Homo-oligomer: A and B are copies of this chain.
Amino acid sequence: MSEVDLAFDEQDLLPAVAQDAESGEVVMLAYASEEALERTRETGFAHYYSRSRDELWKKGGSSGHVQRVEEVRVDCDGDALLYLVDQEGGACHTGYRSCFHRTVDGEVVGEKVFDPDDVYE
């Protein structure tokens, strides 16, 4: 499926970083199973594997905030993925463009792009 050897972890997952292909903003980090990667490549939309819900998951499936994937990269060790995406709306369920919208000191540095109350019921 991949020309590059992938080193899935003991849960058969790889961390996958999603980066906005145009702005370069890192919008989220989630995990991909082999099937999630396959679906991502087949459909052109980012899929992940939810460790808490234990299921394959299409990003934006309920919110509409999908990620069109322009390219999938893999790191030197084959144990991490980078999805270059065109992010519809915001990646974060809190309404921010990026899940990384706070510094570790708690300062908000990201941009809020939608009201979660309008999107999730």
Contact = CB atoms under 8 A, between A and B. Distances in A.
Interface residues of A, number: 38
Interface in A13-49: 15, 17, 19, 23-26, 28-29, 37, 41
A113 interface: no
A73 B4 contact: no
| Residues of A contacting B: mostly | loop
Count of identical protomers in the assembly: 2
A77 B92 CA distance: 10
Interface in A68-111: 71-77, 80-82, 92-94, 96, 99-106, 109
Nearest to A17: B17
Contacts of A92: 76
A12 interface: no
A114 B102 CA distance: 34
A59 to B, nearest CB: 14
A2 interface: yes
A2 B105 CA distance: 6
A104 to B, nearest CB: 4
Given A24-B24, A82-B26, A76 B99 contact: yes
